[in-house]
């Protein structure tokens, strides 16, 4: 099974279009040790020919252009695509807006929790995906979901599970208080496998998560790969940087640092490869050689970048 990181940044990308913070400014100026990144998305394939995309980033058109494996096949007519399924882990704009790039009556299947499918159905702009061509299927928490596209089974199985998080920003209800109307299914993680090798050949993709709880630790133990929420290094990172008032927790993201952070939380876990993805433009791990990047790497973590490949 092959996993390709299409985009490794959080919403807004890196550099963010309107951000003149020191990290965004450095990458924009081409400073050594900085690498531009598009918004979070990955692709997976069991055979290298039929692909599923996980989260449809607003940058998806650019990501497809930069990924030859996702280009139309020369031997399959004038209109075709190896993208046969799209799996959504939440309804955040940076994970669903890219669906609009996949219009033009190309058949594929959307998989998501019913809460996310409801959000798509409530927004008429997504009707550009012709329902006669693009089927929408509910991801179940009760059993494994075998992915299939217009050409049949993809050879990939997805197990969906709820993780601590929150409802998408545009769906927040202030009258709900600190909960903002969040319900189970608003944020999920997925276990991706091709049915071979058990847990050591499984990849867990959890780009949004508010806490490392015992259920997550038990689930990912022994996994071949974990792609995990790397949004902020410290919870108050954005307010301290002067680029926003929201903390990581307010946005539904766990920080790397601190006694309740992901570095500490996964400290004793047995996982083949641990990779931070969905990295905000304020996170100092984006600077190669920074103390924060060195600390993450010394704890056994890798920092995702666009085009990164994982084979299991």
Q: Which of 191, 217, 192 is nearest to 271 (CA)?
A: 217
Res 171: pLDDT: 44
- Cis preceding-peptide flag for 15 (omega within 30 of 0): yes
At 155 the three-state DSSP class reads strand
Residue 185, judged by CB atoms within 10 A of its CB (0-12, 13-18, 19+), counts as buried
Tens of pLDDT, residue by residue, the chain (312 residues): 999 999 999 999 999 999 999 999 999 999 999 999 999 999 999 999 999 999 999 999 999 999 999 999 999 889 999 999 999 999 889 999 999 999 988 999 999 999 899 999 999 999 999 988 999 999 988 889 999 999 899 999 999 999 986 544 444 444 444 544 444 557 899 999 998 889 999 999 999 999 999 999 999 999 999 999 999 998 888 787 777 667 667 677 899 999 999 999 999 999 999 999 999 999 999 999 999 999 999 999 999 999 999 999
Which numeric CATH code is attached to 2-311? Answer: 3.60.15.10
Res 179: pLDDT: 44
Domain boundaries, the chain: 2-311
* CB 99, CB 110: distance < 8 Å: yes
Rounded Cα–Cα distance for residues 276 and 221 (Å): 17
Rounded Cα–Cα distance for residues 223 and 239 (Å): 35
Res 174: pLDDT: 44
First to last CA, the chain: 5
Rounded Cα–Cα distance for residues 26 and 16 (Å): 12
């Amino acid at each position: 099974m092959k996993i390709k990181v299409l985009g490794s940044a959080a919403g807004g990308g890196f550099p963010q279009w309107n951000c003149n913070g020191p990290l965004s400014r450095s990458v924009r100026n081409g400073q050594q040790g900085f690498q531009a990144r598009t918004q979070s998305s990955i692709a997976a394939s069991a055979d290298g020919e039929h692909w599923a995309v996980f989260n449809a980033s607003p940058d998806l058109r650019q990501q497809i252009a930069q990924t030859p494996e996702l280009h139309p096949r020369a031997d399959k007519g004038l209109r075709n695509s190896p993208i046969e399924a799209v799996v959504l882990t939440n309804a955040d704009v940076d994970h669903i807006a890219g669906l609009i790039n996949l219009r033009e009556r190309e058949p594929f299947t959307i998989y998501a929790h019913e809460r996310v499918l409801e959000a798509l159905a409530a927004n008429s702009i997504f009707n550009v995906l012709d329902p006669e061509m693009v089927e929408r299927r509910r991801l179940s928490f009760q059993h494994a979901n075998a992915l299939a596209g217009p050409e049949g089974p993809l050879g990939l199985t997805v197990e969906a599970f709820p993780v601590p998080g929150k409802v998408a920003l545009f769906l927040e209800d202030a009258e709900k208080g600190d909960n903002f109307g969040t319900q189970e299914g608003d944020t999920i993680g997925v276990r991706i496998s091709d049915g071979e090798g058990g847990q050591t050949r499984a990849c867990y993709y959890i780009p949004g998560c508010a806490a490392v709880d015992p259920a997550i630790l038990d689930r990912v133990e022994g996994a071949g790969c974990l792609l995990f929420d790397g949004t902020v290094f410290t919870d108050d990172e954005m307010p301290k940087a002067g680029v926003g008032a929201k903390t990581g927790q307010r946005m539904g993201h766990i920080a790397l640092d601190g006694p309740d952070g992901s570095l500490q939380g996964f400290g004793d876990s047995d996982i083949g490869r641990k990779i931070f993805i969905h990295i905000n433009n304020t996170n100092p791990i984006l600077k190669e050689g920074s103390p924060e990047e060195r600390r993450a790497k010394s704890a056994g973590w890798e920092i995702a970048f666009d085009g990164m490949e994982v084979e299991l």
